[in-house]
Amino acid sequence: MIKKIIPAKVEGLSHFKGGSKNYFQPVINLIRPHDTLIVPFLGNCAVVQNIKACKRTIGNDIDYEVIHKWKQMNFDWIELWNADYMEFLQALDFTTLGRVVLYVDPPMPPMIKSSDRPKYRYEVSEQGHEQLLDYLCSLPTGIDIVVTCHANRLYQRKLSHFGRTMFTYYAGKRQIEEWLWCNYDLNVSSLHDYNYVGDTADERYLIKVKADRLTERLLKEGPLQAQAILSRMKENIIRSNTERIEQETHTIESGRQWYENREQPSSL
């Protein structure tokens, strides 16, 4: 059993740019169950610090100061690398990692920066972003890829076949628009971590209150009866989700077949 205190705050990294600290909840709410979480741009990543532990968490950053700060925390649930992001990714053997989630939150692309002044200690060039995106698109199916970045044409073009959503947050008084891409359907039926379900803190608190009340009612039934009810509820939820997915798949397949078999207009 992996022990991880949530949130697992890393001291001394609050001054680092990015880190998903303003939007980790909606990201976690789209991450499906997995065995291994891989993060090539670790920084002060709030997703890693707040998501429920999995079997293996592998974090990389080219900045040794970042890795040094993480090592000082003596976390035993994360493996730390200090390498270039492409060297790190190409060194991994995905076939040995079970169900994988690759969370990519790279430095801001240079074409959307408001000035030429360096924003990060280690920048990624436009060519470097293209190389990264080409690599992600070349990965085999079965690897869940989640990408967050400010809206820009390069990512929109390269990841046009990914599912995409958008959310906003405030950095001081400035409203920031962040895009998220996934290489799977955004209407996920199961999550790795349900602690952040809900669009606001009030919604998440209401879910917690409902869960506490249901738990109290179940415990009054006795331990075996409570487990039996929970087991049946889980089976019903899984069955309902499976039926929904099968229906959606059938609808998509029917649409594809119709498109392929439609009558083509005769040429003049």
Question: Residue 23 carries which side chain, given as an amino acid letter?
Answer: Y
What pLDDT was estimated at residue 264?
A: 52
Report the mean per-residue pLDDT for the chain: 85
**Does residue 14 have a pLDDT over 70?**
no
Distance of alpha carbon 1 from alpha carbon 76, whole angstroms:
12
Encode pLDDT of 120-160 as tens digits: 678 899 999 999 999 999 999 899 999 999 889 999 999 99
What pLDDT was estimated at residue 267?
A: 46
Please report the beta strands in 51-201, taking only residues with DSSP state E, as ranges in sequence order.
56-60, 78-81, 100-104, 143-150, 163-171, 174-182
Distance of alpha carbon 40 from alpha carbon 58, whole angstroms:
8
CA dihedral 255, 257, 263, 268 (to 10 degrees): 90
Distance of alpha carbon 166 from alpha carbon 17, whole angstroms:
20
For the domain spanning 24-182, the CATH number is 3.40.50.150
CA distances from 112 to 68, 91, 107, 132, 155 (A): 30, 30, 11, 17, 11
195 in Cβ contact with 52 (< 8 Å) = yes
Distance of alpha carbon 138 from alpha carbon 189, whole angstroms:
26
| pTM, to two decimals | 0.80
Q: What are the boundaries of each domain within the chain?
A: 24-182, 201-261
What pLDDT was estimated at residue 52?
A: 95
Encode pLDDT of 203-217 as tens digits: 989 999 998 998 888
**Does residue 17 have a pLDDT over 70?**
no
What pLDDT was estimated at residue 151?
A: 87
Distance of alpha carbon 94 from alpha carbon 241, whole angstroms:
28
Q: Is 164 exposed, middle or buried (0-12, 13-18, 19+ CB in 10 A)?
A: middle
Contacts of 110 (CB under 8 A, 6+ apart): 123, 124, 125, 126
Contacts of 158 (CB under 8 A, 6+ apart): 130, 133, 134, 137
Question: Crossing angle, helix 223-261 and helix 201-219, to 10 degrees?
Answer: 130
What pLDDT was estimated at residue 164?
A: 95
For the ranges 86-95, 193-202, 249-258, the lowest mean pLDDT is seen at 249-258
Encode pLDDT of 216-266 as tens digits: 888 888 888 888 988 888 888 777 776 666 665 555 456 555 545 655 545
Distance of alpha carbon 179 from alpha carbon 152, whole angstroms:
9
> How many residues are given for the chain?
268
For the ranges 80-84, 145-149, 198-202, the lowest mean pLDDT is seen at 198-202
Distance of alpha carbon 56 from alpha carbon 39, whole angstroms:
11
164 in Cβ contact with 187 (< 8 Å) = no
